[in-house]
Amino acid sequence: MKALLVTGGAGFIGSNFVHFWQARHPGHTLVVLDALTYAGNRHNLQACQGRAGFHFVHGSINDQPLVEQLLTQYGIDTVVHFAAESHVDRSIYGPDAFIETNVLGTHTLLKAARKVWSEQGGFDGKRFHHVSTDEVYGTLGPGDPAFCETTPYAPNSPYAASKACSDHLVRAYHHTYGLPVTTSNCSNNYGPYQFPEKLLPLCLLNILQGKPLPLYGNGLQIRDWLHVDDHNRGIALILDRGALGDTYNIGGNNEWTNLDTVKLLCRTADAAFAADPSLARRFPESPCSRGLEAASLITFVKDRPGHDTRYAIDAGKLTRELGYTPAHSFAEGLAATVAWYLAHEPWWRGIQDQSYRH
């Protein structure tokens, strides 16, 4: 039985990983460390409260004494590091927090793991898994091959640069100190519990409330969409059989322009309203409640600085070596995501009125 420390486990991907892991490994010790910044939400973990082996700690990954205490107190042998500032727009206007969390915070975790595990007799049976992003690779042209693990790093935003730096630190701690690390770089995630500043939940909630669906520039930027459960299945495979010191890309083999992605979301919302008349009463501001198409809300806005044109992940290494394949089609996964948000209105209303912070 593993004992996990999951950093950032009250955020979007981290909380989904916690639910994923506990469903498959009931009773395992799982400690969530989360600073509960704006994107951290205790409600994401409500179903875990009271489960055997689950512990939540409100604290920062920059607090090395606290991290060392948790590693020792709970006998942690596996760190799964999700904690990060992750919104590109925020990094453009406030990059300092990204350096503090993504770079210095990752370094603090690495120092703590190295110190405690060394004092406990060595690194055998230990694992530090670092969760990163495809944005470290920069941008692709229309005909360029997808990012692979050997693609040179070329980050174009403060967010991407901070994650690239953290990736290098993780690699350095393996090659210099022998720390047993693995790294995964994923494409754009979607699914339950995603904070509504990101494209899909933002546009879905705007559809429900009759607000514009803002698309940067011409909306033709391409992203590779990955359901969060597929992402977490990939991480679990890496934790189980991934080679120490290695990097694995996790993608959905699912490239869409932002415009086509939002149009698919609109059609999915239209279908949901057509199938359930009660939605028109719950969301009277939505054009779907008046028989109009959600796509009528699409609005093009000024492009953001340094906007990457295309991301695409080649997950062939993870498939060949560990047997990974995405299980969700985009249409099916997006329909399930829309259904989740419709069924969890109090969750996203709490974010909109800020009551989730209390």
Residues designated catalytic: 134-135, 159
Contacts of 346 (CB under 8 A, 6+ apart): none
DSSP, collapsed to helix, strand or coil, labels residue 173 as helix
Spatial CA neighbour of 84 closest among 149, 145, 163, 161: 163
Dihedral sign (CA 299, 269, 351, 336)? negative
Give me the half-sphere count of Cα atoms (radius 13 Å) on the Cβ side of residue 293. 9
How many residues are given for the chain?
358
Instruction: Give me the DSSP letters along 238-260.
Output: HHHHPPTT-EEEE--S-EEEHHH
* Both structure tokens of 258: 């932002």
Contacts of 44 (CB under 8 A, 6+ apart): 10, 11, 12, 15, 193
Give yes or no for a contact between 320 and 156, defined as CB atoms under 8 angstroms apart. Answer: no
Determine whether 28 is exposed, middle or buried from the number of CB atoms within 10 Å of its CB (0-12, 13-18, 19+). Answer: middle
Among left, alpha and beta (phi > 0; psi -120 to 50; other), residue 168 is alpha
What is the rounded distance in angstroms from the CA atom of residue 358 to the CA atom of residue 356?
Answer: 5
Determine whether 314 is exposed, middle or buried from the number of CB atoms within 10 Å of its CB (0-12, 13-18, 19+). Answer: middle
Determine whether 128 is exposed, middle or buried from the number of CB atoms within 10 Å of its CB (0-12, 13-18, 19+). Answer: buried
